[in-house]
Structure 1
Amino acid sequence: MLELYQFEMSHYVEKVRLILDYKGLTYRKIEVTPGIGQLDLVRMSGHRQVPVLKDGNEIIPDSTAIAEYLDKQYPDKPIIPSDPQLRGQCLLMEQWADEIFGINVRKCLITAMGQDSRLRTSVLPSTTPDILKTLVGAVPGDLFSSLGFGGIVKDAKAAIEHNLTALCFILMHQPYLITDQPTLADFAVAGLSMYLKFPEGNYLNIPESLKGKGIPGIADVGTFEPFFSWRDKLYADYRKPLISASSSGSGPTSIDIE
């Protein structure tokens, strides 16, 4: 069985989970413990960041490399178009999503974390020690502003608002971003938007209070509703709901690297 080394709250991991579900592939989620688990991950893959996919003896780090590997190794329901022009558009949008959109989304999360201590602890990996969660939750919200994040977050939010407006225009008369079928671009944009507004369904092992909630001024603005409605439909059509925290292929197990 495929094994996905992950943080449940990583939006780059969510991009890969969407692809795995779309392709109908069974996989086991392995939650990486911050610190020690990441050192083990480096020994296994050469990378400390998630996601990392293990397929038999094959170890593939990085969400883009994983997506390309899955499309070659499991070609049913391809996510990268074969037409050269559409392929170029898909890969370009996926790169934009990874290197610009996703990073700005993460910056926007900083503001919400500063305003809500419960959110700060919720976004930590489930394997984070309780004492560390307590310390993170106790950090004063004002500290986020005093560290100089204010201007960075303001610029990131403005960029995200511009991006979402453009995405709404693209999706106005077509079902997906590139072709009439979902591609890597769709799963990258949908997955990396997770922090803007968490999916409402039972797709993530997160507190119920976070589902359907998101960044104030973005998640609750009607202008962007077409984008979130599109993303919700993508989830409803292709993302597999969790069965239970203990079921195979649903809830994460602790990291176990041989």
Structure 2
Amino acid sequence: MIELYQFELSQYSEKVRLILDYKGLDYRKIEVIPGMGQIDLFRLTGQRKVPVIKDGANIVSDSTEIAKYLDQKYPDRPLFPTDPKQRGLCLLIEEWADESIGVKSRQALFGALSQDQNFRKALLPNTTPDLLKGLVGAVPNDLLKILGFGVGASPDIVKSAETDLKQDLEALCLLLADSPYLVGDRTTLADLSVAGLSMLIKFPDGPYLDLPANVKGKGVPGLADNLAYQPFFTWRDRLYSQYRKLTPGAVNITGSAPTAISID
């Protein structure tokens, strides 16, 4: 079985989960602990980022490379169009989604979290002790805004990201107005990438992610709840209902002492 080393809240991990589900492949989620867990990933791949898949003796990192590997190894339900121009457009949209929606949605979500203590607490895993939830909720909003400068999410960057995402969502609504697909006449990597990477803008409303129930269907104010972008989220929800499986059990690496993930 394919092993997916991931963060549940990683939009790039979600992109890979959606691709795996679309192809009907069985996989096991392994939640990587930030810090210690990433050391083993570095030993294995030379980098600390998720997602990473382990398929037998094959280890592949980076969501785009994972998509290409899976399409070559498991050709059923291909991710790319056969027409050269459509394939090129598919690759362009996938790259754009990675660099625009993927990056800016994280910045916009940070902005939303810095304004809403209850939202911050709600995003913590269900297993988080009440004491820690209280501490997270008690962090002043202004302090988080200051911390945002250190993680590339200053108020100006957040505002710019939100503005860009509004244009992105408007463009997607226009592209999908007369077609159920972004490229050609069937689902491709372009669709799956855009759908999965939009997770942080608005969390899917369904049992797809290991998230608290009161977070599902919620997202960045002004984007997730804007009726102008509802056609896009309706399209995404339909794609999820067609392909996304119920969340498989994750192997959560927890304990009183730091524990590294085990990779053969």
Fold agreement, TM-score > 0.5: yes
SS at match of 2:19: helix
2:156 paired with 1:151: yes
Tell me the percent identity: 57
CA RMSD, Structure 1 to Structure 2 (Å): 2.0
Mapped to 2, the partners of 1:46 and 1:128 lie a distance apart of 30
Provide the residue aligned with 1:32 in structure 2: 32
Post-superposition offset of 1:122: 5.0
Provide the residue aligned with 1:225 in structure 2: 230
Provide the residue aligned with 1:180 in structure 2: 185
Mapped to 1, the partners of 2:26 and 2:146 lie a distance apart of 45
Larger deviation, residues 78-87 vs 221-230: 78-87
Does structure 2 conserve the Cα–Cα contact (< 8 Å) formed by 1:90 and 1:178? yes
Larger deviation, residues 56-65 vs 176-185: 176-185
Mapped to 2, the partners of 1:84 and 1:125 lie a distance apart of 44
Amino acid at match of 1:108: A
Mapped to 2, the partners of 1:176 and 1:238 lie a distance apart of 14
Mapped to 1, the partners of 2:70 and 2:128 lie a distance apart of 30
Does structure 2 conserve the Cα–Cα contact (< 8 Å) formed by 1:9 and 1:125? no
Amino acid at match of 1:204: L
Post-superposition offset of 1:123: 4.4
SS at match of 1:181: coil
Post-superposition offset of 1:124: 5.8
Q: 1:256 aligns with which of 241, 253, 262?
A: 262
Distance 1:222 1:96, change over 3 A: same
Mapped to 1, the partners of 2:109 and 2:129 lie a distance apart of 22
Post-superposition offset of 1:95: 0.4
Amino acid at match of 1:221: N
Provide the residue aligned with 1:19 in structure 2: 19
Amino acid at match of 1:229: T
Q: Structure 1 unaligned runs (5+)?
A: 243-248
Mapped to 2, the partners of 1:123 and 1:252 lie a distance apart of 19
Provide the residue aligned with 2:82 in structure 1: 82
> What's the CA shift string for 1:108-130, capped at 9, x where partnerless?
00111112234335546789898
Amino acid at match of 1:143: L
> What's the CA shift string for 1:27-57, capped at 9, x where partnerless?
0000001100011111122220100000011
Does structure 2 conserve the Cα–Cα contact (< 8 Å) formed by 1:53 and 1:66? yes
Mapped to 1, the partners of 2:164 and 2:48 lie a distance apart of 29
Post-superposition offset of 1:98: 0.5
Provide the residue aligned with 1:246 in structure 2: none
Does structure 1 conserve the Cα–Cα contact (< 8 Å) formed by 2:126 and 2:212? no
Give the TM-score taking structure 1 as reference length.
0.91
> What's the CA shift string for 1:167-212, capped at 9, x where partnerless?
0000000001112211111111111110111111100000001001
Provide the residue aligned with 1:44 in structure 2: 44
Mapped to 2, the partners of 1:44 and 1:207 lie a distance apart of 32
Distance 1:227 1:12, change over 3 A: same
Mapped to 2, the partners of 1:39 and 1:126 lie a distance apart of 25
Mapped to 1, the partners of 2:45 and 2:121 lie a distance apart of 28
SS at match of 2:24: coil
Post-superposition offset of 1:12: 0.4
Amino acid at match of 1:257: I
Does structure 2 conserve the Cα–Cα contact (< 8 Å) formed by 1:8 and 1:31? yes
Provide the residue aligned with 1:100 in structure 2: 100
Provide the residue aligned with 2:257 in structure 1: none
Mapped to 2, the partners of 1:52 and 1:121 lie a distance apart of 28
Mapped to 1, the partners of 2:37 and 2:128 lie a distance apart of 10
SS at match of 1:85: helix
Mapped to 2, the partners of 1:119 and 1:61 lie a distance apart of 31
Distance 1:127 1:56, change over 3 A: farther
SS at match of 2:217: coil
Larger deviation, residues 111-120 vs 43-52: 111-120
Q: 1:237 aligns with which of 232, 236, 242?
A: 242
Provide the residue aligned with 1:112 in structure 2: 112
Mapped to 1, the partners of 2:176 and 2:23 lie a distance apart of 23
Provide the residue aligned with 1:160 in structure 2: 165
Mapped to 2, the partners of 1:131 and 1:41 lie a distance apart of 30
